[in-house]
Amino acid sequence: MVQFYSPNRRSVNRGIISVTADNLDAQGQGIARHQGKTIFISGLLPGEQAQIQLTEEKRQFAKAKVVKRLSDSPYRVAPRCPHVKVCGGCQQQHVASELQANTKADVLEHLIQRETGIDISAHPIIHSPEYGYRRRARLGLQYHAKQRTLLMGFRQSQTNDVVNIRHCSVMRPELERLLQPLSQCLNSLNAVKRLGHVELVLADNGPLIVLRHLDPLKPEDRETLRTFSVQQSVAVYLAGDEKSLAPLLAEQPEPWYQVAGVKLVFSPRDFIQVNDEVNQQMVSQALAWLDLQPTDRVLDLFCGMGNFTLPIANKVQAAVGVEGVAALVASGQYNARLNQLNNVDFFHENLEADIHQQPWAVQGFNKVLLDPARAGAAGVMAHIVKLAPEKVVYVSCNPTTLARDSKVLLEAGYHLVSVRMLDMFPHTRHLESMALFSREPMTIE
């Protein structure tokens, strides 16, 4: 067989190398140097020595696995979760929470400095409880024919296989206690082989589950779920497809949560922040940074169901929220009426399209908040500059796009006043952040 030369094909040295990690990246991988090359090593902490074997090698860097760890860092801790070695949900339970958070803050500072040239601290950090913080979780369901068992859990790392979990230490305890009885209930259904996934959500007025089923449920299955609902004091919603959603019991109350003195009713499928404690701190920080006054007109872009918009409207002359998902806009409008806020408007608009002719875009605003998805807000940054607000608060789930979009404001003469790292998802690689920009130089106390 003829073989063609590929310049990108590189052989991997499978020999054993001894290294000492000198840093940690945001993914929780140890960073070591060997013969001038940076090596990323899963499971190794700064200061630890290990014998490693390369698993992937590029021109500039390599990846490796630990063959034998020769020393332990004082920041190495025993994971609380019994599934940590196989479950893909958490990657950093072996790392002390202090090191996790500080590493993410360092990564954020480095990205901003690299992209903008500004050396700014991401401290103090907005911290989370180390465990028991998730108020929402989506679990895969996978029927195992040989074992005649429905597996319920998160996906195994780097596979589509479901890890059958009975405990999850990052879930709120009110949700974790449901795992075993819920698994028993679902395994007893006639439709056990035709279930898609299940979502667990903790509202301020109690827990709920959303069950995705692929075929119509038989009356006996509905009765089994009713019994589970009553015995476990949990609301149950049924989703026969990706669009339909119906409460199992007609008398189930609407789920809601409170933030900054505002009550937000939501649909079980609406996006809400997973970490309630960090969300409370994040909204409070945003309101403080905006320094809201009764005469302000505030624009909230990528507003969702009004997590920021409605608390802002409670303090200003007028607030406008713009969001691309129609269901979230409807929830925002409903909650504005519920909270008797008549000074707020919500618009359903595509913020990736030409926004200049959209109805909200011709209004004047003196302060702006935006909370885009991972892709960032490239499509609206020029318009924000055109509005010339006094202050801009940018909430981000991707530090790379935050750093990129920051340059538009900086080039327009804005000052980067403050940055915070939000420890929204402890034990994972996810990094949330927020930044304050001001048209005039200012300092934060």
Could you list the residues known to form a binding site for S-adenosyl-L-methionine, using ranges. Answer: 273, 302, 307, 323, 350, 371
Residue type, 246: A
**185 included as an active-site residue:** no
Residue ranges of the binding site for [4Fe-4S] cluster: 81, 87, 90, 168
**85 vs 179: CA distance, rounded Å:** 19
Which residue among the candidates 108, 217, 305, 397 is catalytic per the annotation?
Answer: 397
Bridge partners of 195?
213
Residues 6+ apart with CB under 8 A from 292: 298, 312, 315, 316, 367
Q: Which residues are catalytic?
A: 397
